């Protein structure tokens, strides 16, 4: 399975996924247990039959991934770093309390690279104009959003859908942590079992 292509990974056998749907969650030191528990609960609420593991050690992002001129981390580099070190056959979501960018954008809230089944949520800017509760709510939305990309979803133009692209924290606040009906149907067609939750 490790060397198979993305298309092969999504091959279905009578609507049963044949690849490992375990999600491994990793974090940097400043992401506390409560945030992780909230994200795990959110994912367990959304998906039936998904296994979630939380890596026990904190991940330290190597210094070479910091752009010292911008004082921001290279988002893709961070994703490839965690993938190289922690990815096996499962999905990886790394919650990193740093600021990051991709070339051409001032910053990103997260990045998902489906070919390596690895996503990173960068929480630094999610703290803007937020108390702790709001911060957690934003982190869980971005975790679901990036996982949606890993599972093959693109951005959605439904303003309430978690797959809507957010350019600002206000736009993160406006959307829900749930997939809209259209995105839910796409995931169901891929073989994922989702719980019916009303907003």
Only one of the segments 3-11, 117-125, 127-135, 160-168 lies at the binding site for Zn ion (rule: CB under 5 A); that segment is 160-168
- Residue 193 tokens read as 């079992």
Cβ–Cβ contacts within 10 Å for residue 160, how many? 12
| Strands ordered across the beta sheet of 100-101 | 66-67, 72-74, 100-101
Sole binder of Zn ion in the list 158, 190, 193, 194 (CB under 5 A)? 158
Sole binder of Zn ion in the list 183, 186, 187, 191 (CB under 5 A)? 183
Selected catalytic residue, list 8, 76, 142, 146 = 146
Only one of the segments 12-20, 41-49, 120-128, 180-188 lies at the binding site for Zn ion (rule: CB under 5 A); that segment is 180-188
148 or 191: CB nearest Zn ion: 148
Q: Give the chain as a DSSP string.
A: -TT--HHHHT-EETTEE-S---EEEEE-TTS-HHHHHHHHHHHHHHEES--EEE-SSPPPPPGGGEETTTTEEEHHHHHHHHHHHH-SSSEEEEEE-S-EE-TTSS--SEEEEGGGTEEEEE-GGGGTT--HHHHHHHHHHHHHHHHHHHTT------TTSTTS--SSHHHHHHS-SS--HHHHHHHHHHT-EE-----
Distance CA 17, CA 6 (A): 13
11 or 155: CB nearest Zn ion: 155
Tell whether residue 161 is a contact of Zn ion (CB under 5 A).
yes
- How far apart are CB 147 and Zn ion at their closest, in Å? 11
Tell whether residue 178 is a contact of Zn ion (CB under 5 A).
no
- How far apart are CB 165 and Zn ion at their closest, in Å? 5
Tell whether residue 119 is a contact of Zn ion (CB under 5 A).
no
Distance CA 193, CA 47 (A): 6
Per the annotation, the verdict on 146 as an active-site residue is yes
**Which parts of 33-62 interact with Zn ion (CB under 5 A)?**
none
Residues binding Zn ion: number (CB under 5 A): 6
39 or 161: CB nearest Zn ion: 161
Tell whether residue 156 is a contact of Zn ion (CB under 5 A).
yes
- How far apart are CB 3 and Zn ion at their closest, in Å? 27
Tell whether residue 163 is a contact of Zn ion (CB under 5 A).
yes
Residue numbers at the binding site for Zn ion (CB under 5 A): 156, 158, 161, 163, 180, 183
The catalytic site residues sit at: 146
């Amino acid at each position: 399975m490790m060397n198979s292509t993305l298309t092969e990974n999504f091959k279905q056998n009578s609507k049963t996924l044949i690849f490992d749907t375990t999600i491994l969650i990793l974090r940097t030191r400043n992401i506390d247990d409560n945030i992780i528990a909230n994200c795990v609960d959110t994912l367990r609420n959304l998906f039936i039959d998904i296994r979630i593991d939380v890596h026990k050690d904190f991940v330290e992002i190597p210094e070479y991934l910091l752009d010292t001129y911008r004082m921001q981390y290279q988002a893709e580099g961070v994703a490839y770093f965690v993938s190289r070190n922690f990815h096996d056959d499962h999905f990886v979501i790394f919650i990193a309390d740093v600021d990051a960018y991709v070339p051409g954008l001032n910053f990103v809230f997260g990045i998902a690279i489906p070919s390596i089944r690895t996503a990173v949520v960068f929480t630094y800017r999610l703290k803007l104009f937020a108390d702790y509760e709001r911060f957690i709510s934003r982190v869980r939305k971005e975790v679901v959003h990036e996982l949606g990309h890993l599972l093959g979803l693109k951005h959605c133009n439904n303003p309430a859908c978690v797959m809507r692209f957010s350019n600002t924290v206000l736009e993160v606040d406006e959307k829900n942590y749930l997939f809209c009906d259209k995105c839910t149907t796409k995931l169901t067609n891929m073989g994922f079992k989702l719980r019916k939750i009303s907003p």
